[in-house]
């Protein structure tokens, strides 16, 4: 999924560059404040680990071979901010040393794989794993999240290629999402298997000690508890205590990116209600709304290009929905919890 140079146009490169820089800066800021100094080397070593793990191929159907991508694996082990830094570092080194992924496309690649891939994959993982407290379920959740993150990242990638005029949206979406629905199955399976393998020797790295009895025949480490295991467990617990601010930042950046690059290509056909209205002939009755809408038909007025108008409308809509949800959350949540999750720790 590494986009080479020349495939994203200057406008797309600039926008994704800004989004990626903002996300990475947020992650670094969060880590500088909350990651203990003793865990700093773990970030570099995890990045080297992801790079090395990507070189271990395993056979897939039909004589081809695949490799781990590692976004959700890193996020499940270290937390989302650390994962954003680790995956970005991998992409930067791959770009500058290996020429894998272009310099002008570095922003797009970091946005797709570190922000959409790791951060939103982590969100899916967090939602799923809360459904049941067992270690087995945690491993399965990570696998499902890895599938979802692979597909999401490929859709974001397709949107950027189409917005750049490199390929037609219908072709690029079908090719990217179609292939990555399958690649994602492999990624999900290998993510789950790797977590299961780590859980066998160091259950505390994967699920915390309270969960280790269920699902796996746990082999306890012999001798003194490993210092390295402590480091990861600590980093992960720091990740689970992510301040709400950094998560809000990733969510906003990802939604803005998807609104800009994917929303303009969403289906041009009328949705179910509009279609019914046309069929039954009451479409005309909707002509005069009781109150004029600020952004009619999801197109920002006053912008000549249709795609750009939809994109700007998408960003404006995202911001408006976010502001409403934020105010609703502040009004509805118990006072004490808002204060403790909003204040920097």
Partner 1 sequence: MQADFLDRYSRLDSPVHRLPAGGKLTVAVSLMVLTVALPPGRAMALGAVAALLAVTAAASRIPWRFLLRRMLWLEPFVVGVALLSLLQPGGGRVFLLLVAKSSLCLLAMLLLANTTPFAELLRVLRTLRVPALLLTTLGLMYRYLFVLVDEAQRMRRARASRTFVERRRWTWWTTATVIGQLFVRASERAERIYAAMCARGWS
Site for partner 1 in 221-260 (CB under 8 A): 226-232
- State which residue, 2 or 129, has the beta carbon closest to partner 1: 2
Residue 298 Ramachandran class (φ > 0 left, ψ -120 to 50 alpha, else beta):
left
- Closest approach, Cβ 175 to partner 1, in A, equals 6
Binding segment for partner 1 (CB under 8 A), chosen from 55-63, 209-217, 253-261, 270-278, is: 55-63
- Closest approach, Cβ 176 to partner 1, in A, equals 8
CB 236 within 8 A of CB 205: yes
- State which residue, 255 or 261, has the beta carbon closest to partner 1: 261
CB 189 within 8 A of CB 61: no
Site for partner 1 in 133-172 (CB under 8 A): 161, 166-168, 171-172
Site for partner 1 in 169-188 (CB under 8 A): 171-172, 175
Question: Any idea what the Cα angle at residue 166 is, between residues 164 and 171, rounded to 5°?
Answer: 115
- What is 91-132 written as a DSSP string? HHHHHHHH--S-STTHHHHIIIIIIIIIIIHHHHHHHHHTT-
- State which residue, 50 or 300, has the beta carbon closest to partner 1: 50
Q: Which of 7, 111, 216, 265 binds partner 1 (CB under 8 A)?
A: 7
d(CA 126, CA 123): 5
Q: Which of 92, 122, 108, 154 lies closest to 257 in space, CA to CA?
A: 108
Interaction between residue 55 and partner 1 (CB under 8 A)? yes
Cβ contacts of 295 within 8 Å, gap of 6 or more: 301, 313, 316, 317
- Closest approach, Cβ 107 to partner 1, in A, equals 12
- Closest approach, Cβ 130 to partner 1, in A, equals 24
- Closest approach, Cβ 282 to partner 1, in A, equals 38
Site for partner 1 in 187-226 (CB under 8 A): 189-190, 193-198, 200-202, 205, 226
- Closest approach, Cβ 8 to partner 1, in A, equals 8
CB 51 within 8 A of CB 93: yes
- State which residue, 185 or 277, has the beta carbon closest to partner 1: 185
d(CA 296, CA 302): 11
- State which residue, 121 or 314, has the beta carbon closest to partner 1: 121
d(CA 176, CA 106): 19
- Closest approach, Cβ 92 to partner 1, in A, equals 6
Q: Which of 69, 76, 87, 90 binds partner 1 (CB under 8 A)?
A: 90
Residue with token string 């995956």: 87
Tokens of 71: 């976004």
HSE-CB at 69 with a 13 A cutoff on CA atoms is 32
The Cβ of residue 212 has, within 10 Å, a number of other Cβ atoms equal to 17
- Closest approach, Cβ 288 to partner 1, in A, equals 40
- State which residue, 60 or 316, has the beta carbon closest to partner 1: 60
Q: Which of 22, 100, 185, 307 binds partner 1 (CB under 8 A)?
A: 100
Site for partner 1 in 10-39 (CB under 8 A): 10, 13, 24-25, 28, 31-32, 37-39
What is the SS3 assignment for 231? helix
Binding segment for partner 1 (CB under 8 A), chosen from 89-97, 142-150, 258-266, 300-308, is: 89-97
Cβ contacts of 280 within 8 Å, gap of 6 or more: none
Interaction between residue 119 and partner 1 (CB under 8 A)? no
Interaction between residue 103 and partner 1 (CB under 8 A)? yes
- Closest approach, Cβ 137 to partner 1, in A, equals 18
């Amino acid at each position: 999924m590494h986009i080479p140079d020349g495939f994203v146009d200057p406008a797309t490169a600039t926008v994704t560059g800004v989004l990626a820089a903002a996300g990475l800066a947020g992650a670094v800021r969060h880590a500088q404040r909350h990651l203990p100094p003793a865990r700093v080397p773990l970030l570099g070593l995890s990045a080297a680990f992801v790079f090395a793990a990507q070189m271990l191929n395993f056979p897939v159907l039909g004589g081809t071979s695949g490799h781990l991508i590692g976004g959700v694996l890193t996020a499940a082990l270290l937390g989302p901010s650390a994962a954003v830094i680790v995956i970005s570092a991998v992409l930067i080194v791959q770009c500058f040393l290996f020429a894998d992924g272009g310099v002008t496309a570095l922003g797009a690649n970091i946005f797709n794989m570190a922000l959409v891939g790791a951060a939103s994959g982590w969100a899916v993982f967090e939602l799923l794993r809360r459904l049941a407290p067992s270690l087995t379920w945690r491993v399965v959740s990570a696998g499902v999240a890895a599938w979802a993150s692979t597909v999401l990242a490929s859709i974001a990638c397709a949107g950027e290629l189409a917005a750049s005029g490199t390929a037609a949206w219908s072709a690029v979406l079908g090719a990217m999402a179609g292939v990555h629905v399958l690649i994602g199955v492999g990624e999900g399976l290998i993510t789950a298997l790797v977590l299961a393998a780590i859980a066998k020797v160091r259950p505390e790295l994967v699920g915390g000690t309270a969960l280790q009895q269920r699902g796996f025949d746990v082999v306890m480490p012999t001798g003194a508890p490993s210092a390295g295991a402590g480091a990861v467990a600590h980093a992960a617990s720091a990740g689970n205590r992510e301040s709400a601010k950094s998560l809000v930042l990733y969510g906003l950046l990802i939604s803005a990116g998807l609104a800009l690059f994917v929303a303009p290509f969403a289906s041009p056909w009328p949705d179910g209600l509009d279609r019914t209205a046309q069929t039954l002939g009451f479409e005309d009755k909707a002509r005069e709304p009781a109150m004029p809408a600020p952004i009619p038909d999801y197109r920002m007025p006053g912008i000549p290009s249709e795609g750009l108008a939809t994109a700007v409308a998408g960003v404006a809509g995202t911001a408006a929905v976010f502001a409403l949800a934020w105010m609703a959350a502040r009004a509805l949540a118990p006072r004490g919890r808002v204060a403790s999750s909003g204040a920097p720790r």
